[in-house]
Structure 1
Amino acid sequence: MFALDPQLQQDTLVMGDFPLCRLLLSNDSNYPWFILVPRRESISELFQLDDADQRQLWKETTVLAETLKDSFNADKLNVATLGNVVSQLHMHVIVRKRDDAAWPAPVWGKHPARPYTTEQVTVIRDRLRAALTDDFKFLED
């Protein structure tokens, strides 16, 4: 049974579900920072997903990245699976702008996280609602 890593639960806000992945928003308003987590048990590496799930993860990552590029007017997107702190497989999709708090350096550990306000989260949900297809189901926290 799928369970979200406790660190991800603590550091993120749940946005909803794609067919494979739970979509999370990192609770750091310095950057629009999204995380896709395949709803599969005991997976820490991309190659541990079967071929169909690997293709689905890439499809969901691409849909999300395209949506974020347009919806947030990104200068660059950072897309990566790292897992050095959280071993559960997860894909980071981070909107980067030339004027963001860390540009051009990586976002990790650069600045203290600034939690989102309720109003900011509502704006982000509305942007996603306007752009994501019926394959995505919004979940409320």
Structure 2
Amino acid sequence: MDSFSLDPRLAADTLPVGDLALCSILLMDDARFPWLVLVPRRPGLAEITDLSNADAELMMRELRIATRVMLALAKPDKVNIGALGNLVPQLHVHVVGRFLSDPAWPGPVWGRGTRQSYPAHAAAALADRAAALFAAD
């Protein structure tokens, strides 16, 4: 059986936050938007329909937790959730905090402008804060 490994592009674009029962939680390294990525730790998944029924239910619970964390973490006007997979085929789901004032509002964040990495100290602090919020949920 294949073992799970994170797609190299996701690894390059994100910072680890921690793990839930099914998903690894990642913080997108883009200071323009508060942005989490959930990746089910199952090999060979590309579509939501590739999840077993039990894992699909668990994924929905974890997305609800991630949404609550995003609301507490960034206090956005809206939380967007999406699974695109156009550039990275490995199943992963984005949980993005959106603000009426953000540079992509009201359109999608994908392909909008140039990513602005967090300063190292800010990325670590935000990932730690997110991890604490996940642990408290």
Q: TM-score, normalised by structure 1?
A: 0.89
Matches within 5 A, 1:1-141: 1-133=3-135
Kindly tell me the number of residue pairs found equivalent between the two proteins.
Answer: 135
Q: Residue 50 of structure 1 aligns to which amino acid in structure 2? A: S
Unaligned runs of 5+ in 2: none
Q: Residue 16 of structure 1 aligns to which amino acid in structure 2? A: G
The runs of at least 4 consecutive aligned structure 1 residues that moved more than 6 Å come to none
Q: Distance in 1 between matches of 2:24 and 2:90?
A: 12
Displacement, 1:69?
1.1
Q: Percent identity?
A: 39
Displacement, 1:134?
6.1
Q: Distance in 2 between matches of 1:106 and 1:6?
A: 23
Match of 1:138 in 2: none
Displacement, 1:132?
1.9
Unaligned runs of 5+ in 1: 136-141
Q: Residue 27 of structure 2 aligns to which amino acid in structure 1? A: L
Which range is displaced more, 122-131 or 31-40? 122-131
Distance 1:40 1:98, change over 3 A: same
Q: TM-score, normalised by structure 2?
A: 0.92
Distance 1:20 1:119, change over 3 A: same
Q: CA RMSD in A?
A: 1.4
Distance 1:81 1:2, change over 3 A: same
Q: Deviations over 1:12-55 (max 9, x none)?
A: 11111111001111111110111000000001011111111001
Displacement, 1:123?
2.9
Which SS does the other structure have where 1:132 is aligned? helix
